[in-house]
Amino acid sequence: MEEYLNKNIKEIINQYPEIEKILDEYNIGCAPCNVGTCLLKDIVEIHNLPPEDEKELMTRIAGIIYPDREIKIPRRKRTSQASREIKYSPPMKKLVDEHVLIKRLVFLIPAVINNIDVDSEEERQLVLDVVDFIRSYADKYHHAKEEEILFKYFDENLDILKVIHEDHENARDHVKTVLEAVNNRDKNTVVNHLNAYKELLTEHIKKEDEILYPWMDRNLSIREVGELFSKFADVDRQFENAPKKYENFVDSLEDKFKLKEMVK
């Protein structure tokens, strides 16, 4: 089993496609991931399943790889207790709260693009305001905290961070395309790329809330958590009233469309 723990997951799935379905049952979605070079042992560590689930998962994987043999499952050294309820450190909780506002905006995208008339100045302006929210709040304010502060505490060559960076880059590309398209009054491109952004960000936030941040929290020392908290507070001071302005913008869109995402 040790040999497979050190193999990359895509290779294992290629050899034993049934393993993909098993991982899915534990909400470990490796198959759609574009990077896919994580080792099986890293995946087990990053997801930090409760011990009984982890043992069951590994036993099922071993049963597929070695159907005729009884395999002893190595026990992993844990840095903290796994629990189904996620408890975030204060700086991580701050990022999760920022996701809530981004999710509320993302939820409104279908209403924004429904029957959009790109020849109307007012409707083009609405798309430009959405783009401004994405660029200023989701990207400059929130992604900058992630990329310029939080991720610097980790080895950026880790596969999980490469996946997250790739998502940020793809999100930026969609937004750039939307901006060009709205100026060219190209409705289809605006609609397609805002939809693609919605899909990408929904999955991205889920990955961060449920996998990345809890894993980071388990690997940060108390001193580092404190440092992060104070560095995030510096960013908040720098941005002054901007976050509040964007919260008001999302409130106004929810009123306009009479729609509100029930997010925690």
Q: What is the rounded (10 degree) CA torsion for 163, 165, 168, 170? A: -60
Q: How far is the CB of 34 from Fe ion (least distance, A)?
A: 16
Q: How far is the CB of 98 from Fe ion (least distance, A)?
A: 7
- Tell me if 210 sits within 8 A of 181, measured CB to CB: no
Taking CB under 5 A as the rule, does residue 209 contact Fe ion?
no
**C-alpha–C-alpha distance, residues 24 and 12, integer Å:** 14
Window 88-127: contact mask with Fe ion (x via CB under 5 A)? ----------------------------------------
**C-alpha–C-alpha distance, residues 50 and 36, integer Å:** 23
Taking CB under 5 A as the rule, does residue 159 contact Fe ion?
no
CA angle 67-70-75, nearest 5°?
115
- DSSP-derived 3-state class of residue 39: strand
Stretch that binds Fe ion, among 107-115, 138-146, 151-159, 186-194 (CB under 5 A): 138-146
Taking CB under 5 A as the rule, does residue 208 contact Fe ion?
yes
Stretch that binds Fe ion, among 4-12, 33-41, 74-82, 145-153 (CB under 5 A): 145-153
Largest Cα span, the chain: 69
Task: Please tell me the count of residues contacting Fe ion according to CB under 5 A.
Answer: 2
The binding site for Fe ion (CB under 5 A) comprises 146, 208
